[in-house]
Amino acid sequence: MPPTSTLAIFSIAALALLLVPGPAVVYIVTRSVAQGRSAGLVSVAGVHTGSAVHVLAAALGVSAVLATSATAFMVVKYLGAAYLVWLGLRKLFARPDGEADAQAPSASRSRLFAEGFVVNVLNPKTAIFFLAFLPQFVDPARGPVAPQIALLGLIWIALGMASDGGYAFLSSALAGRLRRSRTAARRLDIAGGLVYLGLGAVAAFAGDGPRKV
């Protein structure tokens, strides 16, 4: 298993990325504003059931391959870093849109859950994290790779449930204000852009390859 210090660093990096509003957060906030807190929390459950798909895929071999193939690791690392930098620049230089459409049509709980699941299974932010970052914290010398990936994935899901649940509670409480505020959205874009740029730099300059046995 990874040492405590590695788990702590992983948790900080995961939380930083989770707090950046991406497709999943936008979906949760939209549903929370339109239908209330319970709809937001159902959406959170769907989103992180989708996260489990990414964990399962990594544990079944994606990250194991990256951990033993220097070429694959480097390609994925730099593609992931470039994508994160691109996301950061796009957020920093994005022009504020008009009033956000928070009036999404009402949906049943089963539909909220299913849509949240699909949103995160197809979420590039989650995919990039598992491909570009997670292998950095896996060390084959400390034992089988799959259990390490599973543990890191469970930490990601737990932190995601907490951070996204916070978005659901806060956005449902501030529903009226969020419908009108463009300044808050712009500030989130700037903060998110800086986080993406920072994580992109970490991904690009963290080591020259996977840890060796």
- Residue 69's region, left for phi above 0, alpha for psi from -120 to 50, else beta, is beta
pLDDT score, position 49: 95
Quote the pTM value.
0.68
pLDDT score, position 166: 93
Residue 209 clears pLDDT 50, i.e. is over it:
no
Cα dist from 200 to 47, 120, 189, whole Å: 24, 20, 16
Cα of first residue to Cα of last residue in the chain, in angstroms, is 14
Condensed to tens digits (0 to 9), the pLDDT of residues 79-123 reads 666 766 776 687 677 665 544 444 556 778 898 999 889 888 877
Condensed to tens digits (0 to 9), the pLDDT of residues 171-203 reads 888 776 655 556 655 665 666 567 667 766 765
Give exposure, 95-115, as e/b (b: 16+ Cβ within 10 Å): eeeeebebeeeebeeeebbeb
Condensed to tens digits (0 to 9), the pLDDT of residues 138-168 reads 777 777 778 888 899 999 999 999 999 999 9
